[in-house]
Copies of this chain bind each other. A is one copy, B any other.
Amino acid sequence: HQAMAPILLESVGNERTDYIEHEVVHVKNPHLDSMEEDILYHFNLGTKTHNLQSMFGDIKFVCVGGSGNRMKAFAQFMHRELGLIGDTTDIEDICAGTDRYSMYKVGPVLSISHGMGVPSISIMLHELIKLLYHAKCSDVTLIRIGTSGGVGLEPGTVVITDRAVDSFFRPQFEQVVLGKVIVRSTELDANLAQELLQCATEIPNLPTVIGNTMCTHDFYEGQGRLDGALCSFSTEEKLEYLRKAHEAGVRNIEMESTVFAAMCRICGLKAAVVCVTLLDRFEGDQISTPHDVLTEYQQRPQCLMSHFIKKRLGLFD
């Protein structure tokens, strides 16, 4: 198959080659180009007030996660890992004018918080994808690094998502558009997942698996927890649901992966979800692990990201 590629490329000329070599971030909205100005309200950025291309044009890796503090720590960590000059305390929150999200840029890496749940990450993704589009970014890889509940895994295990599934174990995301339900595929980039798994094997003490990730819209009842303000089911019914999830290949549960996968796919962004498990849901519901152990767990996806990015940038030669 490889022998065919050069012939095909030649036959369509340079533009086609450029297209294949540089995948430009695109939006799926015909209205956007006719807008005089685009205000990215929840980032406190805009096309008239900011030169987005000069600010963000060199971005190649976007890492997103729920907590602003964690994404700031990741930016500082990447600053050291990439051997960049300057003090890590100088890394500024690009979205400092709003407290909806936090955003940090470290060389070709953008680190952004997205809050909790599908609606919160979806607002961020709409504005992020528009930002990358306005900035004329190309060949961008987008990775969610988060925390999750494990399903039959030792706490601290990192799960690279194979398929992002909903509460009914279906690899799809339902989006309501003008009062009609639209179903979107949540397929992620399989090559990227394998590349990340390979990276994980090259790092000591980073237990990592590929598995399905269930995305719910609620942390308590929606994930079968017995410790919320509301609970109408028994311990046995909870365990039965988790067993069914496990049979469907689910290895962890979080609250953002389906819309993340669906939106990245539509916009042609190569994407992956890498979440560490903080507990095994077969063993309990409460996160009672000591703070320092949780902190170490949360650094694991960050270590994997650093290794992956440095390898991609050829910094291990």
Contact = CB atoms under 8 A, between A and B. Distances in A.
Interface of A: 27-32, 35, 37-39, 41, 66-69, 99-100, 115-120, 122-123, 125-127, 129-130, 133, 167-169, 175-179, 216-222, 224, 226-233, 235, 237-238, 240-241, 244, 255, 263, 266-267, 286-288
Given A120-B115, A286-B39, A130 B229 contact: yes
B125 A27 contact: no
Contacts of A32: 227, 231
Contacts of A123: 116-117, 218-220
B178 A263 contact: no
A225 to B, nearest CB: 9
Given A126-B220, A288-B39, A267 B229 contact: yes
Given A130-B229, A226-B31, A119 B178 contact: no
Given A118-B117, A219-B122, A28 B232 contact: yes
A89 B231 CA distance: 39
A100 B28 CA distance: 32
A169 B176 CA distance: 13
Contacts of A129: 229
B41 A286 contact: yes
A230 B29 CA distance: 5
Contacts of A216: 119, 176
Given A67-B99, A228-B126, A263-B229, A218 B176 contact: yes
- DSSP class of A's interface residues: helix, strand, loop or mixed? loop
A155 to B, nearest CB: 14
A30 B219 contact: no
- Residue picked from A41, A177, A255, A263, most chain B C-beta under 10 Å: A177
Contacts of A175: 218, 221-222
A244 B180 CA distance: 13
Given A27-B230, A100-B116, A178 B39 contact: no
Contacts of A37: 286, 288
A126 B219 contact: yes
Contact of A119 (B41, B168, B255, B286): B255
Contact of A117 (B117, B221, B263): B117
A241 B38 CA distance: 23
A33 to B, nearest CB: 11
B176 A217 contact: yes
A164 to B, nearest CB: 15
- Residue picked from A37, A217, A235, A287, most chain B C-beta under 10 Å: A217
B229 A133 contact: yes
A41 B229 contact: no
Contact of A179 (B66, B100, B167): B167
